[in-house]
Amino acid sequence: MGIVIYGYGLANSPSLINAAVYMANAGLAVDIFTCGTFLDGISFDRGDIRLVDIPKPRAEAQQYIQKAWRCVCKVVRRGFDRLRSRDELIEREVAALTGSAAFFASILRGKTRGIAYKYFIGVEPVGMMVACDLADKHGIASIYYNMELHLDTDRDVGPAALKIIERQHNRRTLLTITQDEVRKHLLIEQNGLAGDSVLLLPVCADGEPFRIRTAVLQETLGLSPEKKIVLYAGFIADWAMCEELAIAAQSWPADWVLVFHGHGYHDAAYLRKVRKHASEKVRFSPGPVPYEQLSELLASADVGVALYRDLGENFTLIGSASGKLAHYLRSGLPVIVNRYPSISSVVDRYGCGCAVENPSQVGGAVRRILSNHEQMRAAAFRCYEDNYMFSKHFGAVFEKLEGLC
């Protein structure tokens, strides 16, 4: 089977990695086709998973982009004498993405010719568009793997364009995978899907709980064993409130240290802003580690932080879509999360961490966690096993996918 990813991270998407491994273990050969995708050196050291990365289209793809833009303009001119500036920008973005997708699909048609696939899974709207094209050529089904929430109310040009593409192509797919009931309802309502065509799969880590305490960060950063490590692992980004977190850490006790373990496409200017707060209380790990070593690194911390700025429902409805939350819990880290019901409810129910209103409250949450750390650590493992272990959720999804053939 084939997985198609355009412009969306693979290395920082545990569910995509685990899905490929699960299906390969079940006896399928898996081709993962990527373009403009954050890979971070990821490789699958096995013959039944093939990773094929295509460079993002540039000048050679202009014919596709220009053709798509001409088609869009022709349709638009029929209904409007003049476009408003925002609408025109959105239409241009749709045209650009459509052209890039056409270029990507044209390359993949050659790379998949003569190979018998069971189905193609398209990740996010542009990946779905390409997967639909390939599936039509092969005469098989396509599946949409929805990772981010795209809404009719999106006002920014990029998200609005992705929503248009998603709505245009989602009904071409036989099944859709998303994280929870709320997202399922929104997809059904806004994209006109049948209820039984949407499957649920929360963002998960996989494997047994990693119960060993390690000293990876202590050894890497030269920290004494007495230091209590509060860890932020993930994109160093404004939406994660990293700068506010670094500022708050300056007033913490001397034996606490905030560690940023960053990966991904960072905004260079924002990263510089956060790094200005580096001190004995705010440290930065040297760089990412291979995915299979992530649990060992996380297990050297005491507390994990997973905060999301309120930028709309894609961020506030994060309880089933946070990869860092799942990985923290797998390594036994009590977590600090936003007081958004979607994520705080499960943390409160298991007693595996604390919810806060803003980064200034993180210090108080750390204090509460450290005063009851062993009990919260045990609760983190239970929460992971019950809610965020991939193999417990993907079995039903895989059974449905295999029923297509």
A 10 A CB-CB count for 78 gives 7
Task: Give the pair of three-digit tokens for residue 270.
Answer: 């924002």
Contact (CB, 8 A) for 69 and 99: yes
Distance CA 125, CA 105 (A): 14
Query: The sheet that has 353-356: what strands, in order across it?
Result: 282-284, 256-262, 228-234, 303-306, 335-338, 353-356
- CATH match for 2-205+391-402 among 3.40.50.300, 3.20.20.300, 3.40.50.2000, 3.40.50.620: 3.40.50.2000
Cα-Cα-Cα-Cα dihedral sign, residues 15, 20, 21, 23: positive
- CATH match for 216-388 among 3.20.190.10, 3.40.109.10, 3.40.309.10, 3.40.50.2000: 3.40.50.2000
- Specify the pLDDT at position 265: 56
Query: If 0-12 CB within 10 Å is exposed, 13-18 middle and 19+ buried, where does residue 297 land?
Result: buried
Rounded to the nearest 5 degrees, what angle is found at the Cα of 128, between the Cα atoms of 126 and 130? Answer: 75
What is this structure's pTM? 0.87
- Specify the pLDDT at position 380: 98
Distance CA 332, CA 345 (A): 18
Q: For the chain (length 405 residues), average pLDDT per consecutive 10?
A: 94 91 95 91 89 77 51 50 72 93 95 96 98 97 95 87 96 96 95 95 94 97 97 94 97 97 78 94 90 94 97 84 94 97 95 97 98 98 96 91 80
- Please list the residue range(s) of the chain that carry CATH number 3.40.50.2000: 2-205+391-402, 216-388
Residues ≥6 apart with Cβ < 8 Å to 364: 356
- Specify the pLDDT at position 59: 44
Task: Give the pair of three-digit tokens for residue 360.
Answer: 């200034």
Query: The sheet that has 2-6: what strands, in order across it?
Result: 49-54, 30-35, 2-6, 119-123, 141-145, 175-178, 198-200
Distance CA 267, CA 40 (A): 16
Residues ≥6 apart with Cβ < 8 Å to 123: 3, 4, 5, 6, 8, 16, 145, 147
Question: Residue 284: in which H helix or E strand, if any?
Answer: strand 282-284
Residues ≥6 apart with Cβ < 8 Å to 209: 330, 331, 332, 381, 384, 385
Residue 40 — left, alpha, or beta (φ > 0 → left; ψ -120 to 50 → alpha)? left
Distance CA 392, CA 256 (A): 36
- Specify the pLDDT at position 51: 95
- Specify the pLDDT at position 81: 43
